[in-house]
Amino acid sequence: NKPIYTNKFYTNFILENQQCSIWTHPYSLSFSKVDGFNGLAVSHITNNQKTFSNDNIPHEFFINPIGIKSIIFSSTQFRSLQDPNLLNLSLNSLNHSSVNLNLSLPYNSYNSNENGNINFPIVQGLGFITGIYNNLTPLLQSTVGFRSIERLGNLSNNIQKYKIVLFNDIVWSVYVSNYSNPNFNLTKIDNNNIQSNVLSNCTIQVATGFSQFYDLAAGLFVYHTEISSEVIDANSSGSPSSNSSAVYSFNFKTAGYSLSSKPIMFALPHHYNNFSNYTNSGRTDIYLDSTTKGVMAGYLIDKFEIVHYDLPVNITFFPGTSLNYQATYNNNSLGLIRKAAEIEVSEDVMNLSNLDSMYFAGKKLDKYALVLYSTMYILQDRELTLRLLPKLKNAFNRFSKLNNIQPLIYDNSYKGLISRAGINGDPNLDFGNSYYNDHHFHYSYFIHAAAIIGKVELDLNDGRESEFLNENKDFVDFLVRDVCNPSPGDNYFPQFRSFDWFNGHSWAKGLFASADGKDEESSSEDYHCYYSIKLWSIVVKNDKLGRLMDLILSVMKNSITSYMLMDNDNKIQPKEFIGNKVTGIFFENKIHHTTYFGNNLEYIQGIHMLPITPISSYFRSPKFVKEEWEEKLSSHIDKVDGGWKGILMLNTALFDPGLAWNFFGKENFNYGYLDDGMSLTWSLAFVAGVGG
């Protein structure tokens, strides 16, 4: 009766026929049950196996091969099944960063009094893939084929060591511990099968390559990762300061024994570029390619301790960029902002936001919330503010009171808030919200709008009370809990549904099986979610939640600027690809410079920009934005019409506010250049606020 995780690395194994792979990095795992190859298949892909699109540099996509079954954990009993569909793959101990897999036979299927099974503790970053055999005759298989197997004796702790060479010349190390039969031995039967000579309980571990560090870690396995963190302030007041830093750790929970008493785990570049001295002390000489995030490094260590010094503690509501230019709120700019506000305040917010999509409705509410912020704090016009506030409150209340066209409902199966839109029809309606796609995108706009409305109403009432917060706090807190619930003890929502601590960003794909794994199309709407929750935490005075969001945003900055936003100095992604500047759709197994809704350049680049808010420059540095503009967009902008033009031009404020002002500050500005989530009021207020 616990919440089930919907957007995690292992979700493919709870969907459809369980035939799509999962990625722990550097390995991928698949459930094999075909042609006598029945078990859990392990694969590792090297960079020379990547395939690029057949076009000019920068390439449109690159992809890693799937279906290569280098090593398959099986048994003679699994292989002999007349119907491979009788082999059962089940999951238990589901967590946001780990899961336990179990391969089992049907009861009494080979005249045994007990089910035979293999248990696999699965954690992101595993150095070994570990299979714990119970009442089976172990069998290793390979569709690549075994050229040779060599037994290299026993380690000093009596763990058997083997060296396997496949027909593709790749070497794999195999370790066997806890064998219940002292005569246990693995022997090559034919080119596809290596078999134990006896039925035995045992633990088998495999890893690609050959290293003394594997010897030191063999016999110990990680079954769970606990996340701990601490935000450290440079001042003595206890409130976050501009010099705040943070330390967060992946604490590896282990079982078994090894010569070093430590496991071997692999780290991604955004981890090891920020490791503490303690964790760096465990670095080995083992490096393995990941599928989409560069080269991983092996560490013989009990925890990954990561230090960040650049938390966005001072980035809140007010416009700003990392350029730190002085705001230019003079008579001219304020006059133009006021002119735009007079028009947009008078619009019919109630009807314009009455949409059947949580995504587009949220964008509309957030659009007018930013207009509200501008009238209250930039124009400091109480009368304009009070004209818009009740309209925006009523429009928001329609959603919190579930009177909108497709209201949210609570799903008792997976436990979360989902749109009613796709329940009895097309699961792809509203971008798959009903099946947990894009929740952090959709709900971020509601949370951000609520934070602004609540702040404005509190300040209008001198901080005494907010009718809006009294009526809507529970609803907004439910949205926060759905996308980023920090509590492991919450029985109504899973912990960290969207955010992946190991990968350092969220995954948008929910309950849809995918051959290339989880994916994310918009880095900017990803960080907009956690920025919005941070602002909400300020308004409702939840300090602990706000500090967590500062940490998550810092983690995301290191990840997104390493893998998704690629400046010319990027050394992680393939050199043949970084010229795209943004990745497009980022999968676990491939990266494709496109979108789900079209291949126009403005779509691909722009979906990684919107919405432009004070947090944007924290991720999109002036250097990066300038390169993207000069190399991709300046020659393209005249071909762009509609709202994407406004998005691309507001983005220029992050490196050249004057260029942005010359566009938005025109006397007869074309409102057709505004995206449906943009207002001219906020565009002018933001650009002037950052020096335009």
When pLDDT is averaged across residues 193-197 and rounded to a whole number, the result is: 97
Task: Judge whether 266 and 296 are in contact, CB under 8 Å.
Answer: yes
Report whether pLDDT(177) > 90.
yes
pLDDT of residue 238: 43
> Catalytic site residues?
438, 521, 525
Report whether pLDDT(114) > 70.
no
Is 404 among the domain residues? Answer: yes
Domain extent for 70: 11-221
pLDDT tier at 67 (50, 70, 90 boundaries)?
very high
Structural domain ending residue among the three candidates 168, 187, 221: 221
Is 316 among the domain residues? Answer: no
Task: Judge whether 438 and 508 are in contact, CB under 8 Å.
Answer: yes
Report whether pLDDT(390) > 90.
yes
When pLDDT is averaged across residues 534-546 and rounded to a whole number, the result is: 98
Report whether pLDDT(428) > 80.
yes
Is 314 among the domain residues? Answer: no
Into how many domains does the chain fold? 3
pLDDT of residue 244: 83
Position of tokens 């003595």? 236
Percent of the chain beyond pLDDT 70?
97
Lowest mean pLDDT among 112-126, 242-256, 508-522: 112-126
Task: List the 160-166 sheet strands across, edge first.
Answer: 88-92, 98-104, 117-123, 129-136, 200-208, 171-177, 160-166, 146-154
475-491 tens-digit pLDDT: 999 999 999 999 999 99
Q: Which helix (H) or strand (E) holds 400?
A: helix 382-400
100-109 tens-digit pLDDT: 999 998 865 5
When pLDDT is averaged across residues 75-90 and rounded to a whole number, the result is: 94
Task: Judge whether 223 and 123 are in contact, CB under 8 Å.
Answer: yes
Report whether pLDDT(235) > 60.
no
Report whether pLDDT(360) > 60.
yes
Same domain (yes/no): 112, 260: no
Same domain (yes/no): 612, 633: yes
DSSP string, 632-666: IITTTGGG--THHHHHHHHHGGGT-HHHHHHHHT-
Structural domain ending residue among the three candidates 198, 221, 244: 221
- Distance, in Å, from the CA atom of 224 to the CA atom of 208, rounded to the nearest integer, reads 22
pLDDT of residue 242: 56
Same domain (yes/no): 393, 516: yes
When pLDDT is averaged across residues 541-550 and rounded to a whole number, the result is: 97
291-339 tens-digit pLDDT: 999 999 999 999 999 999 999 999 999 999 999 999 999 999 999 999 9
Same domain (yes/no): 583, 468: yes
Position of tokens 């808010």? 613
For the entire predicted model, the pTM comes to 0.96
Is 325 among the domain residues? Answer: no
Same domain (yes/no): 213, 243: no
Q: What angle, 0 to 180 degrees and rounded to 10, lies between the N-to-C axes of helices 382-400 and 439-460? A: 140
**Both tokens assigned to 129:** 């893939």
Same domain (yes/no): 606, 630: yes
When pLDDT is averaged across residues 230-248 and rounded to a whole number, the result is: 67
pLDDT of residue 236: 40
When pLDDT is averaged across residues 586-609 and rounded to a whole number, the result is: 99
CATH number at residue 93: 2.70.98.30
When pLDDT is averaged across residues 190-200 and rounded to a whole number, the result is: 96
561-581 tens-digit pLDDT: 999 999 999 999 999 999 999
Same domain (yes/no): 91, 144: yes
**Both tokens assigned to 580:** 């795209």
Is 313 among the domain residues? Answer: no
Same domain (yes/no): 189, 257: no
131-151 tens-digit pLDDT: 999 999 999 999 999 999 999
- Burial of 184-211, coded b for 16+ CB within 10 Å and e otherwise, reads bebebeeebbbbbeebbbbbbbbbbeeb
**Both tokens assigned to 71:** 């090593």
Is 216 among the domain residues? Answer: yes
Ramachandran assignment for 627, one of left (phi > 0), alpha (psi -120 to 50 degrees), beta (any other): alpha
Same domain (yes/no): 462, 521: yes
Same domain (yes/no): 625, 600: yes
Is 1 among the domain residues? Answer: no
Same domain (yes/no): 543, 645: yes
CA angle 250, 253, 256 (to 5 degrees): 140
Report whether pLDDT(120) > 60.
yes
Is 564 among the domain residues? Answer: yes
Position of tokens 């509601």? 446
CATH number at residue 475: 1.50.10
pLDDT of residue 237: 43
- Distance, in Å, from the CA atom of 193 to the CA atom of 195, rounded to the nearest integer, reads 6
pLDDT of residue 425: 84
Structural domain ending residue among the three candidates 221, 246, 268: 221
pLDDT tier at 1 (50, 70, 90 boundaries)?
confident
Same domain (yes/no): 557, 609: yes
